[in-house]
Amino acid sequence: MRVPLSLTTSMAGYLTGKKLSGAQKFPLVMMLEPLHACNLTCTGCGRIREYKSTINEMLTVEECLKAVDDCGAPIVSLCGGEPMIYPELDRLCKEILDRKKHIYLCTNGMFIRKRLKEFKPTSRLFFNVHLDGLEKTHDICVERDGVFREAIEGIKAAKAAGFLVTSNTTVYKETDIEEIADLFAYLQTLGVDGHMISPAYSYAAVMTKEIFMSRDEIRDKFRQASKLLERYNIVTSPIYMEYLRGERELMCTAWGNPTYNPRGWKGPCYLMTDAHHATFKEFIDNTPWEKYGHGRDPRCEDCMVHAGYEASAVLGGNKKLGDTWKMLTWTLSGKMGGLIGEPSERELQAKQNGHANGNGHSNGHGNGNGSAKRAIPVAPSNQSQDEVFRIL
Ligand code: SF4
């Protein structure tokens, strides 16, 4: 199975219930940002820049839970900021799990080892660790040395303790897909259960526009990625991947991935902010959905991110004959924590090397530095790690 059975059955039951009730707009994955503070200043991150003036604000656990209940989505993606620095994260997770939801705890991995003992392994909780390349590349993207190594130590500790772990990779213009294949081969040797992958979105608050891709560039990049990454347990749906390769069109369904943070329900989507709404109902009712999406708003022109289009794929937008069968075989053909098929030279070498410093692409592709060749001017951020902890 590509994902735990509990996740497949819970999502199938939820979708059936919603379709039978005739609901038109309903969420699949709630993006819950209890805080925006972070211990890192990643180059492509819009949050720490957009929410600079409220970076020291936090939701209470009760506010988070009310939002989870109002929203009703079966999956909660806990993100931020860095959720692992949220003081009551253990209580928050326990309460959400008690509601029979699944949680993707999206983290940079720096505090997994420190806080692991606060959690219990379950098929409903994933540590979803953000990794944008091998060691050199990733540390450049997050603008700090040592982050990759600590995230890897966190992954190892979580797997040793019996937790589910996924990786989450954002693809930028200069991302070397061969390097991402090497990263996945390496993560597979650690028993990582699945991999998410999505193109970056060009946030208005991020000054370094040259790192983002146009629609055509995204399609080229994902045509290359699909072939190279098909052996790994990719948890991004096959229909969304077809969209990323330019093989089908989808329309944005941003209401499928609503975002709640200390300022309220962020509309219209995880990426753009035109309003913050006080309640989930106001967010759904008052957002002019027909104005957003490719061809409708210039800010949506090059957006193909999962927060806008993965829900469209799951909900059967622009449905084609055979889609249901495709989704079913895709779910059953996956292998959590393992490789689909026999190991290739790349995987054998990853196993033999036992490390991932970005200097040794298994097939000799790329320069081993990934985007280390980039000299990206970074948007100013005054937030140091010490400051984050002073805030908290
Ligand atoms: S296409 Fe959808 S998800 Fe992307 S920026 Fe526009 S509204 Fe947001």
Query: Which CATH number belongs to the domain containing residue 244 in this structure?
Result: 3.80.30.10
Ligand 1 probe mutation, 255, 299, 312, most atoms within 8 A of CB:
299
Per-residue pLDDT of 67-102, as tens digits, reads 999 999 999 999 989 999 999 999 999 999 999 999
Range with lowest mean pLDDT among 70-84, 115-129, 274-288, 354-368: 354-368
Per-residue pLDDT of 367-391, as tens digits, reads 333 333 333 233 333 444 444 444 4
Q: Would residue 20 count as lying in a domain?
A: no
**Torsion from C-alpha of 1, 222, 36, 59, nearest 10 degrees:** -40
Q: Inform me whether the pLDDT recorded for 366 exceeds 50.
A: no
Distance, CA of 89 to CA of 272 (rounded, Å): 26
- For residues 37 and 383, is the Cβ–Cβ distance under 8 A? yes
pTM above 0.85, yes or no: yes
Q: Which domain holds residue 36?
A: 26-391
Place of tokens 């989930």: 280
Q: Would residue 254 count as lying in a domain?
A: yes
Q: Would residue 7 count as lying in a domain?
A: no
Distance, CA of 229 to CA of 302 (rounded, Å): 23
Using alpha carbons only, give the angle 281, 267, 301 rounded to the nearest 5 degrees: 140
Q: Would residue 9 count as lying in a domain?
A: no
| pLDDT for residue 357 | 58
Q: Would residue 346 count as lying in a domain?
A: yes
Whole-number mean pLDDT of the chain?
A: 86
| pLDDT for residue 65 | 98
Question: In angstroms, what is the span from residue 290 Cα to ligand 1's centroid?
Answer: 11
Name which residue sits closest to atom 6 of ligand 1, judged by CA. 300
| pLDDT for residue 204 | 63
- For residues 186 and 328, is the Cβ–Cβ distance under 8 A? no
Q: Inform me whether the pLDDT recorded for 23 exceeds 60.
A: yes
Q: Would residue 8 count as lying in a domain?
A: no
Ligand 1 probe mutation, 218, 292, 310, most atoms within 8 A of CB:
292
Per-residue pLDDT of 169-213, as tens digits, reads 999 988 999 999 999 999 999 999 999 999 988 766 666 667 788
Number of domains in the chain: 1
Q: Would residue 347 count as lying in a domain?
A: yes
Q: Would residue 204 count as lying in a domain?
A: yes
